[in-house]
Amino acid sequence: MAPKCNACGRFLAAIEAVTCPKCTATSHRACVGIPPSAQVDSSWLCPECRARMPRANADSTPVRRAVGMQMHSMDVSDLEDQLNTTALDTTVELQTVQELSLDIRTFRENMKRASEECKVWKAEMAELRSFMTSIGDRVTQLEERIGIVESQMSSQRADEGAIKSLETTVSQLKRDLNERDQELLLNDVDIAGIPEEEGESVQHLVLACAAKLGVSLDERDIVGCRRVGLNRQPTEAEPRPRAITVRLARRSTRDQVLKAARVRRSLTTEGLGLRSSPRPMYVNERLTRENRQLFNQARELARKTGWRFVWTREGRVYARQEHGGPAMRIRCEEDVRRVFGGKTV
């Protein structure tokens, strides 16, 4: 471990050190007033050792002279050494105080920024807690309604009209639950088409994809990211890569990513640092399982029946037959059959 200077307390290198032969204390040359290229005399002592040396006063002197006479009797070289040492100590202490003041100022600024970030984080957590409480209340109400419907179904007669009415109610409740589940995914996006590789970092791939889209993201914007779906089968020659699901901290960030993805339709994996050849990739909003199935059915039927547009917005599925036509909302399979003329996939 490198030694510390006896004068200023900092670490020093061997090339700039000078050692006192009496107390073996090591100091910077500059701290004890020795030029860098000067030769150190063997009789040289550090300021502390010189200060502890006894004065040359005779013990037989009955009365000490006045201060003015003592100043004349003192050795001029000793007086100069003491003055130089005092000035040097004062300079070192002043430098130490200035450095400590700068460190304290920097620490206060860092604490101020950290306090501001904590305030923002607390506000966001309070908003999220309120939202989750509201969702929990809605789910509780839906569960109560489902319980009521189930109890009514068990107590009523199994006539066709009553069963149909109950089935309609249950379907409506399922749609309501699906919409609540979709609301919980409004901060999520899906990235499909990125090949899987051994030892990959999913978060690094997400950040690289965002940079390719022209969106500035950092690790604090990502709540979580992972690959979802069935694991790859080793028997498949070229298995389909699993999609990457990303949950972002803010909905505005998710909207920014989706907007950039809509502009760049021909997005590929080139530039993501993958070993495989570039291939197309797609960035879409994340859907629940029911909405994803409805979207796939609607897209397949649109291809067969000549409908030109099928899309999603805020987790909802829409279809339009041509430019300027009305947008049809698709909530369930009955809507799929109604919109596309009773056809099924």
Kindly list the domain boundaries of the chain, sorted by start residue.
126-183, 188-230+239-285, 289-339
Summarize pLDDT for 235-265 with one digit per residue, the tens. 555 678 999 999 999 999 999 999 999 888 7
pLDDT of the residue at 150: 83
Q: Which residues of the chain have pLDDT under 70?
A: 1-2, 55-89, 92, 156-159, 231-238, 342-345
Of 305, 306, 307, 328, nearest in space to 317 by CA: 328
* pLDDT of res. 102: 85
CA nearest neighbour of 334 among 342, 326, 323, 345: 342
Q: Which two three-digit tokens encode residue 311? A: 């899309």
Predicted local confidence at residue 251, as pLDDT: 92
- Amino acid 77: pLDDT: 59
Residue 157 phi, psi dihedral angles, 5° rounding = -70, 155
Task: Tell me what pLDDT residue 67 has.
Answer: 43
Q: What pLDDT does residue 68 have? A: 45
Domain 188-230+239-285 CATH superfamily: L1 transposable element, RRM domain (3.30.70.1820)
Q: Which two tokens stand for residue 147?
A: 């319980």
Measured CA to CA, the distance from residue 62 to residue 59 in angstroms comes to 8
pLDDT of res. 320: 93
